[in-house]
């Protein structure tokens, strides 16, 4: 028997060692390489390390809970747990121990486990099975809450905001041996949880206090801040302990918990029946709103290092502001240790004291962002100060300060100061959203007599509540025409006088409408205490369909003195000429704060895939294709692409530009159609929120098409913010010439903003009668005009306009002041080069009107902003390529021509920059570039200089290009012929469809040739160049001069 046992043990040991070789065998069987095996082993090692760390943490936490007093004594002696891990009563004298409560919880824990098992099995499991057809076999196979109960480490009591309220803060800690197993029998899937930690501050509000038993009407519970959660998974969910997935799973679970128990969400437990205040207790009015001005930071730590840390770079900081479940993220400031954001955010505050704002600064990196520091602030300090404007030191980052201005906005139940609030908000330049003037709370109670879409089948109603571009959704109540939601929603309002609240009641599975309601918020302003509490008749619904709601509006008022004076008058602007008019005439224009804040949206309509075939023949027996085109709508403009014939995967490669502002609710909409003789067929639509593009600057995505079975659209949207600097203007012009597609308008290089304030001393008509004047402005073929003022010699317009500028060096603004009948009263021509030479690219003052009276003048502000794209920023740092001399970046010139081979580029005349030194056979100027977005190799033939004449007559030169080693027709290109010149200008663009890898394997050969005569097909070669594209940095798009060599020379 002993020998048999030893043999079995040896076989078991051998089997375990063979088991280690199983992954290698499986990898070989599946044809996987050694890299896949190493990756699997690395994932397994990470999983094992994380599992052991979790188990070790649970053991330490359990040891602390078993003998709390011993742990505290050990910490006091410098042993055991760190001070930060100890109960709150050790560090805070106003926190009391609650051992009696822990004994009660320990005694009641088994019965709580029985309740949880009944709740999960009888209530939760049926809901899960009904939610999805794939989960119809879902069951809880084991529910065991374990023997370790929840512990309360400390209790702090606060006086309530009124006498009928008691506040308790419980520092809770749960290190449990809970085990919950689930199974989906249909898929043979088992998973579960075995062990969990939960630590956080739970606030319990006892409200309202009654004069009868049970004294307390209800308990309201919530976490002021997100609790700390750690879970040990079992079964298939063991995969969630793999590094990378673990943080994702914990975040998703914490988001689910936050949606129920973290402010502003609350768990209400009524203790008396028919509690009328249930909705208000579940979602009470906020205590206030805090407006946070994120100014900037100083002396941040540098996180970007190079060459192993020898060279210290900078950081790309951004800020994350968090208040409970409210989280916002600022924009990223590249390469700056002293960033300035000047952004404004607003947070709803529910509990003071207790609720905090946490600000974290990060350095943006391609992989994982580095923490630069964090700070926390209790909103109780803001409530006391009303306005708090200071520099806060950063913690955990080692150094740095953060500049914040925080304003406490009180909630007013009357509209007496609404006009004052709106007037003040107009003076605030707020990004990314305009400041709010009020908040709206919608208490959604119930509905009655909703229609049934199918006879005998009750609907599953849910409600969508929308204010402008913000939409909230209620829960779904199944199988009833009289649903009860008892839900609440909050909205920020920018202009409650002109805004509406829109409500849609829908049948959830089909999203079909059961009724709608639109309510102007102006009705609330006329209601007592800005409140409406009544049933509302639903439109497009049943005759008795009503929605019971309560709407409460509160005005946000800053009860603090205004600080700061008016901004200083800009220096360096022209002073107004002496006039005989009013002595109180302003010296500068006074545009509103939104003037000049527009962006330019550049829309790259690239391609589509898997479109629906609409052209079918013989009643659908023979499937054809489609002739797709796209319509793009944004900011009131509509662009239409060309039609691509018979293609379900069309490529347009077209670019459109539109001037946009940051007004909420705007979308960039794309509609695709199939071009037909009679009526065009719909191929799908998609949209991108404009605010998303403005905040992230670039959106490059494949968008799935909606309302159709298949198809997706590839677009690239770029937001260009005007920059008041000419430092990158030449690079912008050069980059635009490279990006210019073969079809479409010329790309814009700048944005011109003009504010027409007023005019003075206009000539009188018909003796002494003043004119009814308006002003018309024009740039190229784009013209706009102001309103027509009442008859006056000094009309005031106060209107702003914006123009896209293609060539700032040569364009001009043409302005005319006319009488209502069209007779001119004066004109002004403002060349844009004059703006380029001005400080800040702006002119603000009085300008004389030509052709008017002797003192006629107009007050305006004109400012120019250069539109720097991402490609221009990258190209600004490019260096010269080997094999040629760098030439000045070509700029644009008036006019546009098309040669035989491609698009004529817009460049300044050849004599506008220094010419190269003369070579033996002359020189060729060439730009080579790979356009990654369109997957094309681009060559631009600019010019030749000092060609050598081989006869007495001047040649008729042209340039032919070929991509070696293939000399087929598809690789050859040639320019148009220039007559009788040794210095031809071509400026023609050519493209080849290929990948970057293929382009790098090619060689480009360019020949400069001349036609001998009209009747002869022979060509005379004047010189050639031979370039190995593997030696050229195609991503930079550099322009260079290359010396021509003799045709007989070797490559």
What was the pLDDT predicted at 91? 47
* Two tokens, residue 541: 């619904």
What was the pLDDT predicted at 566? 38
Residues 6+ apart with CB under 8 A from 752: 779, 802, 803, 804, 805, 813, 832, 835, 862, 863, 864
| Predicted confidence (pLDDT) at residue 754 exceeds the cutoff of 90 | yes
What was the pLDDT predicted at 369? 82
CB 670 within 8 Å of CB 632: yes
Angstrom distance (rounded) from CA 751 to CA 722: 6
| Predicted confidence (pLDDT) at residue 311 exceeds the cutoff of 60 | no
Task: Please state which of the ranges 79-93, 174-188, 279-293 shows the lowest mean pLDDT.
Answer: 79-93
What was the pLDDT predicted at 235? 66
| pLDDT tens digits for range 938-951 | 888 888 988 888 77
Task: Please state which of the ranges 191-195, 236-240, 323-327 shows the lowest mean pLDDT.
Answer: 236-240
Residue that the structure tokens 């260009």 belong to: 720
| Local confidence band at 257 (pLDDT 50, 70, 90 cut-offs) | low
Extract the runs of DSSP E, i.e. beta strands, from 475-566.
484-493, 500-507, 512-520, 531-537, 546-558
- Tell how strand 622-623 and strand 616-617 pair up: antiparallel
| Local confidence band at 13 (pLDDT 50, 70, 90 cut-offs) | low
Q: What is the mean pLDDT of residues 20-32?
A: 64
Angstrom distance (rounded) from CA 655 to CA 746: 9
* Two tokens, residue 1001: 């394997």
| Predicted confidence (pLDDT) at residue 567 exceeds the cutoff of 50 | no
What was the pLDDT predicted at 743? 67
Return the top range by mean pLDDT from 113-122, 129-138, 843-852.
843-852
What was the pLDDT predicted at 632? 93
CB 151 within 8 Å of CB 102: yes
Give the burial class of 372: count Cβ atoms within 10 A of its Cβ; 0-12 exposed, 13-18 middle, 19 or more buried. buried
* Two tokens, residue 403: 């500049």
Residues 6+ apart with CB under 8 A from 10: none
| pLDDT tens digits for range 507-547 | 876 678 888 998 898 888 888 889 888 889 998 888 889 99
In terms of pLDDT, which residue wins out, 746 or 906?
A: 746
| Predicted confidence (pLDDT) at residue 974 exceeds the cutoff of 80 | yes
3-state secondary structure 272-331: CCCCCCHHHHHCCCCCEEEEEEEEEEECCCCCCEECCCCEECCCCEEEEEEECCEEEECC
Helix axes 34-66, 22-29, angle to 10 degrees: 140
CB 289 within 8 Å of CB 347: yes
In terms of pLDDT, which residue wins out, 231 or 605?
A: 605
The 8-class DSSP code of residue 898 comes to B
Return the top range by mean pLDDT from 256-265, 449-458, 643-652, 728-737.
643-652
Task: Please state which of the ranges 27-31, 272-276, 665-669, 992-996 shows the lowest mean pLDDT.
Answer: 27-31
CB 636 within 8 Å of CB 671: no
The 8-class DSSP code of residue 910 comes to G
| Local confidence band at 912 (pLDDT 50, 70, 90 cut-offs) | very low
CB 777 within 8 Å of CB 945: no
Handedness of CA 806, 808, 810, 812 (dihedral sign): positive
**Residue 363 forms beta bridges with which residues?**
317, 370
| Percentage of the residues of the chain whose pLDDT score is greater than 90 | 16
What was the pLDDT predicted at 717? 92
- SS3 of residue 75 by DSSP: helix
| Predicted confidence (pLDDT) at residue 158 exceeds the cutoff of 80 | no
Angstrom distance (rounded) from CA 329 to CA 309: 29
Residue that the structure tokens 């800009």 belong to: 570
Q: Return the number of other C-beta atoms located less than 10 Å from residue 567's C-beta.
A: 6
CB 976 within 8 Å of CB 986: yes
Task: Please state which of the ranges 385-394, 479-488, 557-566 shows the lowest mean pLDDT.
Answer: 557-566
| Local confidence band at 817 (pLDDT 50, 70, 90 cut-offs) | very high
- SS3 of residue 27 by DSSP: helix
| Local confidence band at 1021 (pLDDT 50, 70, 90 cut-offs) | confident
| pLDDT tens digits for range 319-338 | 999 887 788 899 998 888 88
In terms of Cα–Cα distance, which of 609, 701, 659, 1016 is closest to 867?
659
| Local confidence band at 673 (pLDDT 50, 70, 90 cut-offs) | very high
Residues 6+ apart with CB under 8 A from 366: none
- SS3 of residue 665 by DSSP: coil
* Two tokens, residue 655: 């670019």
- SS3 of residue 687 by DSSP: strand
* Two tokens, residue 1014: 């009209």
Task: Please state which of the ranges 149-158, 190-199, 378-387, 614-623 shows the lowest mean pLDDT.
Answer: 614-623
Residue that the structure tokens 């409408």 belong to: 513
| Predicted confidence (pLDDT) at residue 937 exceeds the cutoff of 60 | yes
Task: Please state which of the ranges 13-17, 411-415, 826-830, 921-925 shows the lowest mean pLDDT.
Answer: 13-17
Tell me the HSE value of 645 on the side-chain side, using a 13 A CA sphere: 0
In terms of Cα–Cα distance, which of 672, 752, 665 is closest to 707?
672
Helix (H) or strand (E) holding 744: none
> Is residue 498 left, alpha or beta, with left meaning phi > 0 and alpha meaning psi from -120 to 50?
alpha
| Predicted confidence (pLDDT) at residue 119 exceeds the cutoff of 60 | yes
CB 763 within 8 Å of CB 854: no
Q: What is the mean pLDDT of residues 917-932?
A: 78
| Predicted confidence (pLDDT) at residue 146 exceeds the cutoff of 90 | no
Q: Return the number of other C-beta atoms located less than 10 Å from residue 391's C-beta.
A: 14
Chain-wide mean pLDDT for the chain? 78
In terms of Cα–Cα distance, which of 740, 739, 633 is closest to 690?
633
- Tell how strand 438-448 and strand 681-689 pair up: unpaired
| Predicted confidence (pLDDT) at residue 630 exceeds the cutoff of 90 | yes
| pLDDT tens digits for range 78-93 | 444 444 445 554 444 5
What was the pLDDT predicted at 917? 43
Task: Please state which of the ranges 15-24, 156-165, 256-265, 871-880 shows the lowest mean pLDDT.
Answer: 871-880
What was the pLDDT predicted at 122? 81
> Is residue 162 left, alpha or beta, with left meaning phi > 0 and alpha meaning psi from -120 to 50?
beta
- SS3 of residue 419 by DSSP: helix
Angstrom distance (rounded) from CA 319 to CA 401: 12
What is the length of the chain? 1051
What was the pLDDT predicted at 603? 92
| Predicted confidence (pLDDT) at residue 766 exceeds the cutoff of 70 | no
CA dihedral angle for residue 299, residue 300, residue 306, residue 308, rounded to 10 degrees: 100
| Local confidence band at 564 (pLDDT 50, 70, 90 cut-offs) | very low
What was the pLDDT predicted at 900? 34
What was the pLDDT predicted at 251? 58
| Predicted confidence (pLDDT) at residue 618 exceeds the cutoff of 70 | no
In terms of Cα–Cα distance, which of 325, 213, 217 is closest to 280?
217
In terms of pLDDT, which residue wins out, 273 or 1036?
A: 273
* Two tokens, residue 544: 């008795």
* Two tokens, residue 786: 């102001």
| Predicted confidence (pLDDT) at residue 98 exceeds the cutoff of 80 | no
The DSSP secondary structure of 926-982, one letter per residue, reads EEEEEETTTTEEEEEEEEEESPPPSSSSPP-EEEEEEEES--SGGGEEE-PPPPS-S
CB 586 within 8 Å of CB 422: no
């Amino acid at each position: 028997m002993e020998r048999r046992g030893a043999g079995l043990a040896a076989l078991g040991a051998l089997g375990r060692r063979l088991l280690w070789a199983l992954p290698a065998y499986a990898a070989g069987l599946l044809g996987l390489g050694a890299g896949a095996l190493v990756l699997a082993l690395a994932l397994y090692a990470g999983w094992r390390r994380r599992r052991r760390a979790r188990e070790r943490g649970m053991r330490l936490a359990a040891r602390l809970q078993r003998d709390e007093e011993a742990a505290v004594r050990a910490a006091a002696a410098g042993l055991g747990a760190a001070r930060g891990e100890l109960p709150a009563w050790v560090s805070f004298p106003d926190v009391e121990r609650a051992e009696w409560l822990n004994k009660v919880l320990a005694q009641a824990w088994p019965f709580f486990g029985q309740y949880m098992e009944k709740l999960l099995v009888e209530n939760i499991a049926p809901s899960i099975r009904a939610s999805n057809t794939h989960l119809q076999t879902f069951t809880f196979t084991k529910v065991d809450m374990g023997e370790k109960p929840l512990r309360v480490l400390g209790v702090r009591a606060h006086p309530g905001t009124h006498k009928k309220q008691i506040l308790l803060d419980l520092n809770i800690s749960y290190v449990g041996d809970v085990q919950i197993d689930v199974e989906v029998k249909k898929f043979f899937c088992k998973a579960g949880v075995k062990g969990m930690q939960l630590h956080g501050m739970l606030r319990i509000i006892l409200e309202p206090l009654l004069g009868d038993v049970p004294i307390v009407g209800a308990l309201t519970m919530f976490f002021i801040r997100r609790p700390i959660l750690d879970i040990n998974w079992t079964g298939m969910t063991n995969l969630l302990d793999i590094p990378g997935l673990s943080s994702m799973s914990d975040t998703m679970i914490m988001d689910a918990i936050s949606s129920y128990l973290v402010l502003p969400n609350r768990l209400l437990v009524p203790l008396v029946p028919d509690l009328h205040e249930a909705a208000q207790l579940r979602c009470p009015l906020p205590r206030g709103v805090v407006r946070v001005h994120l100014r900037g930071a100083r002396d941040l730590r540098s996180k970007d290092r190079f060459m192993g840390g020898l060279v210290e770079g900078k950081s790309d900081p951004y800020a994350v502001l968090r208040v409970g479940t409210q989280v916002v993220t600022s924009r990223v400031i590249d390469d700056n240790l002293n960033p300035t954001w000047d952004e404004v955010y607003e947070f709803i505050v529910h509990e003071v004291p207790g609720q905090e704002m946490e600000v974290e600064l990060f350095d943006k990196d391609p992989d994982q962002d580095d923490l630069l520091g964090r700070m926390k602030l209790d909103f109780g300090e803001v409530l006391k100060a009303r306005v708090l404007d200071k520099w806060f030191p950063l913690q955990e980052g080692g150094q740095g300060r953060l500049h914040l201005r925080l304003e406490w906005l009180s909630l007013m139940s009357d509209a007496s100061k609404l006009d004052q609030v709106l007037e003040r908000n107009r003076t605030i330049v707020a990004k990314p959203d305009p400041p709010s003037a009020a908040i709206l709370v919608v208490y959604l109670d119930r509905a009655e007599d909703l229609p049934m879409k199918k006879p005998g089948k009750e609907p599953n109603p849910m409600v969508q509540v929308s204010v402008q571009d913000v939409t909230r959704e209620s829960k779904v109540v199944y199988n009833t025409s009289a649903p009860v939601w008892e839900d609440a929603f909050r909205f920020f309002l920018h202009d409650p006088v002109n805004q509406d609240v829109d409500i849609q009641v829908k049948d959830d599975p089909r999203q079909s409408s059961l009724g709608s309601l639109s309510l102007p918020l102006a009705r609330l302003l006329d209601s007592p205490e800005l409140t409406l509490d009544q049933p509302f008749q639903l439109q497009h619904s049943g005759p008795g369909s009503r929605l019971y709601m309560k709407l409460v509006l509160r005005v946000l008022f800053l009860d603090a003195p205004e600080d700061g004076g008016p901004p200083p008058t800009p220096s360096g602007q022209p002073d107004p000429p002496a006039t005989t008019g009013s002595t109180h005439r302003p010296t500068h224009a006074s545009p509103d704060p939104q003037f000049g804040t527009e962006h330019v949206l550049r829309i790259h309509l690239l391609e589509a895939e898997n479109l629906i075939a609409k052209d079918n023949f013989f009643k659908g027996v023979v499937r054809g294709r489609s002739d797709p085109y796209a319509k793009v709508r944004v900011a009131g403009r509509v662009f239409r692409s060309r039609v691509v014939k018979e293609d379900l995967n069309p490529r347009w490669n077209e670019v459109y530009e539109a001037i946009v502002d940051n007004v909420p609710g705007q979308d960039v909409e794309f509609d695709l159609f199939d071009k037909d003789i009679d009526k065009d067929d719909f191929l799908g639509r998609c949209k991108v929120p404009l605010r998303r593009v403005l905040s992230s600057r670039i959106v490059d995505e494949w968008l799935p098409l909606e309302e159709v079975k298949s198809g997706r659209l590839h677009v690239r949207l770029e937001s260009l913010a005007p920059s008041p600097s000419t430092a990158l203007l030449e690079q912008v012009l050069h980059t635009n010439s490279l990006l210019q597609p073969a079809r479409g308008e010329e790309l814009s290089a700048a944005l011109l903003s003009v504010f027409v304030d007023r005019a003075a001393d206009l000539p009188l008509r018909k003796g002494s009668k003043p004119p009814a004047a308006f002003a018309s402005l024009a740039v190229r073929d784009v013209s706009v005009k102001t309103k027509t003022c009442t008859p006056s010699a000094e009309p005031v317009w106060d209107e702003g306009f914006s123009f896209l500028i293609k060539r700032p060096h040569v364009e001009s603004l043409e302005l005319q002041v006319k009488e209502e009948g069209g007779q001119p009263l004066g004109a002004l021509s403002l060349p844009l080069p004059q703006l380029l030479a001005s400080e800040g690219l702006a002119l603000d003052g009085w300008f004389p009107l030509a052709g008017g009276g002797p003192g006629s003048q107009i007050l305006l502000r004109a400012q120019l902003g250069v539109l720097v794209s991402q490609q221009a920023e990258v190209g600004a740092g490019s260096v010269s390529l080997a094999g040629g001399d760098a030439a000045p970046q070509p700029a644009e010139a008036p006019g546009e021509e098309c040669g035989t081979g491609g698009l004529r580029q817009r460049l300044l005349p050849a004599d506008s920059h220094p010419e190269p030194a003369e070579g033996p056979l002359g020189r060729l100027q060439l730009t080579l570039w790979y356009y990654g977005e369109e997957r094309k190799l681009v060559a631009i033939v600019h010019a030749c200089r000092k060609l050598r004449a081989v006869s007495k007559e001047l040649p008729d030169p042209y340039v032919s290009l070929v991509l070696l080693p293939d000399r087929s027709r598809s690789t050859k290109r040639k320019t148009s012929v220039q007559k009788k010149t040794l210095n031809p200008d071509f400026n023609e663009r050519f493209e080849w469809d290929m990948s970057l890898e293929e382009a790098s394997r090619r060689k480009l050969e360019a020949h400069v040739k001349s036609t001998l005569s009209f009747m002869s097909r022979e060509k005379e070669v004047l010189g050639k160049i031979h370039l190995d594209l593997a030696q050229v940095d195609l991503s930079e798009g550099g322009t260079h001069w290359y010396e021509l060599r003799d045709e007989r020379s070797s490559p």
